[in-house]
Structure 1
Amino acid sequence: MVASLVVIPSSFAFIDPRTDSWFLVHSPLPVTILIIFYLLLVVAGPRFMSRREPLRLGGPLTAYNLGLVVLSLYIFYEFLTTSLQSNYSYFCQPVDYSRSELAMRMARVCWWCFFSKAVELLDTIFFILRKKPQQITFLHVYHHGTMLFNWWAGVKYVPGGQAFFIGMLNSLVHIFMYLYYGLASLGPQMQPYLWWKRYLTILQLCQFVAITAHSAYNLIANCPFPDGFNVAVLLYTLSLISLFLNFYHHAYLRGKREKLI
């Protein structure tokens, strides 16, 4: 295992010298600045647009969403193919810190997954420019902001191993999610074909449940993967399950209940 031990607040990880010099990875400062700037936009953006007409961004929005479908497809393919060729265990897999072709390929797709989280911050900017403040919920901001930092830490310390399972599931879900958004951006004529939004939320919840179970198992099984990361993932996905269940209740159940009353 080629890595140098570093002391970080929780003292559970190695800095991976293979990825340390990659774009946005070496220091947490660029990612921190990006997240702060993102939060400032969340606060100031709707105020800036309050006295302006919403922008019509049909073409750019379609290109953006379909571009993320392609990127998510690529990431999913790379995670799946590399893990199979490397004979990864889907239950317990330590990080391969070597510079072998497959180990570097896995590290690179982890970086692309991290980079995609930076790109996905544009979701919120599109909402702001189109004057859709109701879409900028706590769940939306929390999910986008924290995913970026979480994947930065993954690429910095554990680009591979158990992290591949999270990235693979997440990219699979994002294929369908951004396909939905891309179709929706084509206009009202697509509404008859977008009946599956509710099932998209269910798919997201299934993803978080699977990742939670995966992380919990690895803690119990004493897998040679940093326990600190497994604990962090476990707590984080539990928070997402809670928030998405609340969203599901308000979006799909409460309305029907109120109609019945």
Structure 2
Amino acid sequence: MLQDIMSNVLQFHTYVIQRTDDRLRGYLLMHSPVLMTLILLTYVFLSVYVGPRFMANRKPLSLKNTMVVYNFSMVAMNGYIVHQFLVWGWGTTYSWRCDLCDFSSSPQALGMVRASWIFYISKYIELLDTLFFVLRKKHSQITFLHVFHHSFMPWTWWWGITLTPVGGMGTFHAMINAGVHVIMYFYYGLSAAGPRFQKYLWWKKYLTAVQLTQFILVSVHISQYYFMKECDYQVPWWIHLIWMYGTLFFFLFAHFWVQAYIKGKRLPVAHSKENGVTPASFKELENGTAPNLPNGNVLLSKVKEI
């Protein structure tokens, strides 16, 4: 029985390697799903179990300067990713409708491959968000949502850009996501810089609106596929997954928006009125920039329910 299982696993691994886009084989973490899966499983184990126990009897670290540098570095990296997606397709030759994958080794096709890989690698760098929570003893911020998002995103993207030829309409959501992260990490950078920058953070409640806009754009763009008379996108299952991802997260964020900003159920009412605190955005809760509140654990537990 065990021998049959191992044989099937090895056969599947061989199939995946054979299906991998040849243009990606030389890139870091792209030659096999085994290493990247082990990295992400290790991340989950360290984040949920080892990290909090390691810091249990230690003082939290400040990391103010480190976080400022990190956040603004992520602004630059995501800005570069958006620029690359625009240069190699979305701002030049793509129609923004039925854009097919380019299998060639033309400069444009290779540029899109490189842009997609950089986006993929950025998701591993974002794992540092959790490390900062651990070292600062912000354990309440290491929610199921946070860990799931940070581990599942790079894992699924490996399969997406190896089993699907890189490029075409299937990369639109990555460009939009990188653009949103420019805004998000800019906010986090200002927030980490200290109280003197608080006057520039009046727009924090609009972060959720930015996220909602992201999923609307992704869902609307990818939905075109279902209404076109002819669109021979080479791997339609990737289209279906992107549509499901965009639609699901739109409803999750819309639900949060209604609860937080219309019904006002996400913060203790008395605390909100006394201190002028507006409900934190979904992304703030996910990444740990929400205000420290007396009932913060209750707030975070409700976010898990979404």
Farther off after superposition, 73-82 or 147-156:
147-156
Q: Which runs of 4+ in 1 moved over 6 A?
A: none
Select 1:36's aligned residue among 21, 24, 41.
41
User: Could you tell me whether the CA contact under 8 Å between 1:139 and 1:243 is conserved in 2?
Assistant: no
Structure-to-structure mapping, 1:221-240, within 5 angstroms: 221=228, 223-225=231-233, 226-240=235-249
Q: What TM-score do you get using the length of structure 2 for normalisation? A: 0.75
- CA shift at 1:256, angstroms? 7.0
Alignment gaps of 5+ in structure 2: 1-10, 274-306
Select 2:68's aligned residue among 48, 62, 68.
62
Secondary structure of 1:162 counterpart = helix
Structure-to-structure mapping, 1:15-34, within 5 angstroms: 15-34=20-39
Q: In the alignment, is residue 180 of structure 1 matched against residue 187 of structure 2?
A: yes
Select 2:57's aligned residue among 51, 59, 64.
51
What CA distance in whole angstroms lies between the structure 2 residues aligned with 1:218 and 1:118?
A: 30
- CA shift at 1:128, angstroms? 1.3
Question: What is the RMSD of the two structures over their aligned residues, measured on CA atoms?
Answer: 2.6
What CA distance in whole angstroms lies between the structure 1 residues aligned with 2:91 and 2:255?
A: 39
| Structure-2 change in CA distance of 1:205 and 1:84 (3 Å) | closer
Q: What TM-score do you get using the length of structure 1 for normalisation? A: 0.87
Q: How many residues align?
A: 253
Structure-to-structure mapping, 1:103-118, within 5 angstroms: 103-118=109-124
| Structure-2 change in CA distance of 1:168 and 1:191 (3 Å) | same
Q: In the alignment, is residue 137 of structure 1 matched against residue 137 of structure 2?
A: no
| Structure-2 change in CA distance of 1:255 and 1:154 (3 Å) | closer
User: Could you tell me whether the CA contact under 8 Å between 1:120 and 1:144 is conserved in 2?
Assistant: yes
What CA distance in whole angstroms lies between the structure 2 residues aligned with 1:85 and 1:241?
A: 25
- CA shift at 1:148, angstroms? 0.7
Secondary structure of 1:204 counterpart = helix
User: Could you tell me whether the CA contact under 8 Å between 1:25 and 1:155 is conserved in 2?
Assistant: no
Farther off after superposition, 244-253 or 225-234:
244-253
1:213 maps to amino acid: V
What CA distance in whole angstroms lies between the structure 1 residues aligned with 2:56 and 2:183?
A: 32
User: Could you tell me whether the CA contact under 8 Å between 1:86 and 1:102 is conserved in 2?
Assistant: no
| Structure-2 change in CA distance of 1:167 and 1:255 (3 Å) | closer
Alignment gaps of 5+ in structure 1: 1-5
Farther off after superposition, 126-135 or 77-86:
77-86
Secondary structure of 2:168 counterpart = coil
What percent identity do the matched residue pairs reach? 39
Instruction: Look at both structures and tell me which one has the larger radius of gyration over its CA atoms.
Output: 2
- CA shift at 1:48, angstroms? 2.3
User: Could you tell me whether the CA contact under 8 Å between 1:219 and 1:230 is conserved in 2?
Assistant: no
What CA distance in whole angstroms lies between the structure 2 residues aligned with 1:120 and 1:76?
A: 16
In structure 2, the partner of 1:254 is 265
